[in-house]
Amino acid sequence: MASDLVWLNGEIIPMADARIGVEDRGYQFADGVYEVVRLYNGKPFTMTEHLDRLERSAAGIKLALPITRAALEDGLAKLVAKSDVRDGMVYLQASRGVAPRNHVFPEKPSGTVVAYCRALPPVPAPGEGFGAKLLAVPDERWKRCWVKAIALLPNVLAKNEAAGRGYDEAAFVEDGLVSECSTANLFAVANGTLVTHPVGAKVLPGITRAVLFDCAKELGIKVDERPLREDEMTKVQELFITSTTRELSWVSHWNDTPVGQGTCGPVTLKLHRAYRDRVRAQTGA
């Protein structure tokens, strides 16, 4: 069917032949933008406005579209002309393309642009059809950080903001409270107690974090699960971050202010050693 044609990076091919890499950042990080344009009678409605918004959205995530506006318009026109969809939509998506998985943007993003048409049921005439029933829900977009979801664009943008300014990680702060980092959980050692934000809406239940809780218990280190205030961050004795890939990393600076003694603190060190013991016990490494 001609509705199963796909325009992929400048080529119109059957959807069944379209290949997008497993490491496409759209797939792994939701690192992309999209548009839906209505087709009436085989003709796009407000295509210009949609492409304007696509360009604004792309700029909003620092995505350089890998195609000129003219080439994109030309490609979409050809796709729509070849498609047998009369009443429906054009779905258009642009991602930062395929690169080895890393929150930090690739130096030379390849970019993936894909578009295809799909039929939609006719819209009822004005005033006709059923009225819509609405359900009120809390606005939790995105307050489900406990879900290890691939909707990582906010994390990706934060990480790149940090990397671009010479920092290693970005720590999220809201209303003066610090939750976690873009790719790691965050801990402080304050007066000998381990302090970290509770998991849930704002914090991923890190596996490393959970292992560390066990280590702390074993070592007799008290744990206090509470949000850290931003004004505490430079006053605590130690700060460190945790994740599967980096285990524990001690933190030297909060913004531009040094934290602790300028070396890995004793509690962080003890905990990291205990963590390594567990790695060794389970894997022999």
Which spans of this chain sit near ligand PDD (rule: CB under 6 A)?
155, 180, 183-185, 204, 206-209, 242-245
Q: Which of 43, 78, 82, 148 is catalytic?
A: 148
Compute the distance between CA of residue 194 and CA of residue 202 in angstroms, rounded to an integer: 19
Toward ligand PDD, which CB reaches closer, 28 or 83? 28
Toward ligand PDD, which CB reaches closer, 172 or 254? 172
| Nearest Cα to Cα of residue 95 among 79, 81, 109, 116 | 109
Toward ligand PDD, which CB reaches closer, 113 or 184? 184
CA 14: distance to chain centroid? 30
Compute the distance between CA of residue 176 and CA of residue 1 in angstroms, rounded to an integer: 55
Compute the distance between CA of residue 226 and CA of residue 177 in angstroms, rounded to an integer: 10
Minimum CB–partner distance for residue 166 and ligand PDD (Å): 21
Compute the distance between CA of residue 79 and CA of residue 89 in angstroms, rounded to an integer: 12
Toward ligand PDD, which CB reaches closer, 113 or 251? 251
* Dihedral over Cα of 232, 234, 239, 243: its sign: positive
Minimum CB–partner distance for residue 189 and ligand PDD (Å): 18
Toward ligand PDD, which CB reaches closer, 83 or 185? 185
Minimum CB–partner distance for residue 206 and ligand PDD (Å): 3
Q: Which long-range contacts (CB under 8 A, 24 or more apart) does 16-19 make?
A: 18/114
Compute the distance between CA of residue 282 and CA of residue 285 in angstroms, rounded to an integer: 8
Compute the distance between CA of residue 207 and CA of residue 185 in angstroms, rounded to an integer: 10
Minimum CB–partner distance for residue 208 and ligand PDD (Å): 3
Q: Let me know if 235 is a catalytic residue.
A: no
What is the 3-class SS of 151-193, one letter each residue? CCHHHHHHHHHHHHCCCCCCEEEECCEEEEECCCEEEEEECCE
Minimum CB–partner distance for residue 117 and ligand PDD (Å): 35
Compute the distance between CA of residue 137 and CA of residue 126 in angstroms, rounded to an integer: 28
Minimum CB–partner distance for residue 49 and ligand PDD (Å): 35
Toward ligand PDD, which CB reaches closer, 88 or 206? 206
Which residues does the annotation mark as catalytic? 148
